[in-house]
Amino acid sequence: MNFFEPSRLLKRLPEQFFAALAMKAAAKVKAGYDVINLGQGNPDRPTPEHIVMALQKASGDPANHKYSPFRGKHSLKEAAAKFYEREYGVLLDPETEIAVLFGGKAGLVELPQCLMNSGDIALVPDPGYPDYWSGVEMAEAEMYTMPLLEENQFFPDYTKIPPGILDSAKLMFLNYPNNPTGAAASKEFFEKTVELAKKHHICMVHDFAYGAIGFDGEKPLSFLQTPGAKETGIEIYTLSKTFNMAGWRVAFAAGNPSVIDAINLYQDHMYVSVFGAIQDAAEAALLDESESTKELVQMYENRRNTLVKAFRGIGWDIQAPKGSFFAWLKVPEGYTSQEFSDILLEKAHVVTAPGNGFGQFGEGYLRAGLLTDESRIEEAAARISKLGLFAMAD
């Protein structure tokens, strides 16, 4: 059998962190262990029934058996615009300021290839979603990482970025509510970001994957709500988390028309848009004003409260996330993130995501997902407690 050498591009790509984590957890399950998976980022609840029914109906429409319009259905883009106006008071032109995406990840990986050339600089949060790195690498561009530190509320400190880097940067990725830290953006932070982007002509890309999930009565802010934001970049909104549609692979980018046009041009050469029936179901999701999303957020908040109480109860001093469906847990002194994650998997059969998988400044943390029932979260805490790694709370 001949062996065909993969391209230099494939050799440059970083290891797919989540795929490796899933394989490690699957091996334990295959070996017969009862594994509690707090490492995943996959919603555990089904898509709401009315969205599934919309897909069932739309899949029977012969019009959807043909190629979809290259740049997506106008009806879906119109629904996305109505969604943004209803939820955030942001006005968008459906045709020039919205692009349909094959899931949020696809958009995030495409964008550097749409806007950057070899040697250009992208500002990337650290810790952050590892697929930001993949897109930058595919564009043969370079990354400058912005540390997200607890003492700075997990916001990047723009004053620490050298002026030369800011002047050279073409693109900046941000993500709030944040994966993996659970931090939420403030109005003031987004205002500073717009000011910086305007001054240095940087295209801002806000990954709003967890836009629906905010806690303690605080609704997450859209970057596009900030005056001037549309002039400086875009926001990517996925239906994966808000509507439990992770497997459907549908999202959209919204904002600056020149960026939207670049995405559309790139996708013209890559795809013929998302299956029409999925677009129709996505439209139904975005136009629905039922309480299903509020109920989903309340479920995650209940799980967050359970996790914080249970883990603090065994002596693990953790901070409550402000949004997303993740908690960012400090590793005890004397362990690396990977070592402690491996101990929890091997001895307690609890899967967590080691923080170093999200970047250099993720070292010293684990990410735990709120994607399993409260009883399983409590069971995870009980198993970890038996390892004697923490001093029990009084």
> Which segment, 5-14, 18-27, 149-158, 283-292, is predicted with the most confidence on average?
149-158
Q: pTM for the complete prediction?
A: 0.95
In the chain, which ranges are continuous DSSP H helix?
Answer: 8-12, 17-30, 49-59, 74-88, 104-115, 131-138, 163-168, 187-200, 229-232, 239-242, 257-270, 276-287, 292-313, 337-348, 374-385
Same domain, 271 and 306: no
Residue 192 belongs to a domain: yes
Please give the angle made by the CA atoms of 268, 99 and 41, to the nearest 5 degrees. 105
- Choose the final residue of a domain: 287, 316, 332: 287
The CATH number assigned to the domain holding 373 equals 3.90.1150.10
What one-letter code names the amino acid at 72? G
Other CB atoms within a 10 A radius of the CB of residue 344 amount to 24
Confirm if 168 and 201 have CB atoms less than 8 A apart: no
Higher pLDDT pick, 19 / 333 = 333
Q: What does the pLDDT read at residue 174? A: 98
In sequence order, what are the residues at sequence separation of 6 or more whose Cβ sits closer than 8 angstroms to the Cβ of residue 290? 48, 50
- 99 phi and psi angles, rounded to 5 deg: -125, 135
Please write the tens of the pLDDT for every residue from 198-214: 999 999 999 999 999 99
- In the three-class reduction of DSSP (H, G, I as helix; E, B as strand; rest coil), residue 147 is classed as strand
Identify whether residues 60 and 139 lie together within a single domain: yes
Per-residue pLDDT at 394 exceeds 50? no
Same domain, 310 and 331: yes
Tell me if 391 is assigned to some domain.
Answer: no
Compute CA distances 157 → 4, 162, 366, whole Å: 45, 11, 22
- Of the three residues 238, 260, 287, the one that is the final residue of a domain is 287
Q: What span, in angstroms and rounded, lies between the C-alpha atoms of 369 and 41?
A: 6
276 and 315 in a single domain? The answer is no
User: Do 94 and 129 have their domain in common?
Assistant: yes
| Average confidence (pLDDT) over 251-274 | 96
Is residue 392 situated within a structural domain? no
Distance CA 203, CA 208 (A): 16
Which value, in Å, is the radius of gyration of the alpha carbons in the chain? Answer: 21
Note whether 183 and 38 are same-domain residues.
no
Same domain, 242 and 337: no
Say yes or no to pLDDT of 233 above 60. Answer: yes
Residue ending a domain, among 267, 287, 307, is: 287
Residue 394 lies in a domain: no
> In what order do the strands lie in the sheet containing 98-101?
98-101, 251-255, 233-238, 203-207, 169-174, 121-126, 142-147
75 CB-contact burial (10 Å; exposed 0-12 / middle 13-18 / buried 19+): middle
Same domain as 304, residue 193: no
**Domain tally for the chain?**
2
Residues 6+ apart with CB under 8 A from 243: 47, 48, 51, 285, 292, 293
Residue 43 inside a domain? The answer is yes
- How does residue 393 score in pLDDT terms, banded at 50, 70 and 90? very low
Please name every residue paired with 251 in a beta bridge, in sequence order, or none if there are none.
101, 238
Q: Show the tokens assigned to 216.
A: 């303690």
Whole-number pLDDT of residue 41: 85
pLDDT surpasses 70 at 335: yes
233 and 222 in a common domain: yes
- The whole-angstrom separation of Cα 23 and Cα 250 is 25
Q: Residue 141 and residue 239: Cα distance in Å, rounded?
A: 29
Buried b (16+ CB within 10 A) or exposed e, 195-230: ebbeebebbbbbbbbbbbbbbeeeebbbbbebeebb
Residue keyed to tokens 């043909």: 66
Output the domain CATH number for residue 69.
3.40.640.10
28 & 144 share domain? no
Residues 6+ apart with CB under 8 A from 297: 212, 213, 214, 215
- Asked if the structure places residue 312 within a domain, the reply is yes
CA distance 206 to 84: 15
Give the residue among 186, 232, 179 at the shortest CA–CA distance from 208. 179
Per the domain annotation, does 61 fall within a domain?
yes
Which of 7-11, 18-22, 219-223, 263-267 bottoms out in mean pLDDT, i.e. has the lowest? 18-22
Evaluate if residue 329 carries a pLDDT over 50: yes
Answer yes or no: is pLDDT of 383 > 80: yes
Q: Are residues 231 and 370 in the same domain?
A: no
Same domain, 95 and 229: yes
Measured distance CA(187)–CA(153) in Å, rounded: 14
The predicted-structure confidence for 302-323, as pLDDT tens digits, reads as follows 999 999 999 999 999 999 999 9
Strands 326-330 and 350-351: unpaired
Q: What is the pLDDT of residue 128?
A: 96
**Contact in structure between 229 and 256 (CB atoms under 8 Å):** no
Q: Is residue 390 part of a domain?
A: no
Domain that holds residue 33: 8-47+292-385
Tokens found for residue 52 = 């599934």
Residue 47 pairs in a beta bridge with: none
pLDDT at 392: 56
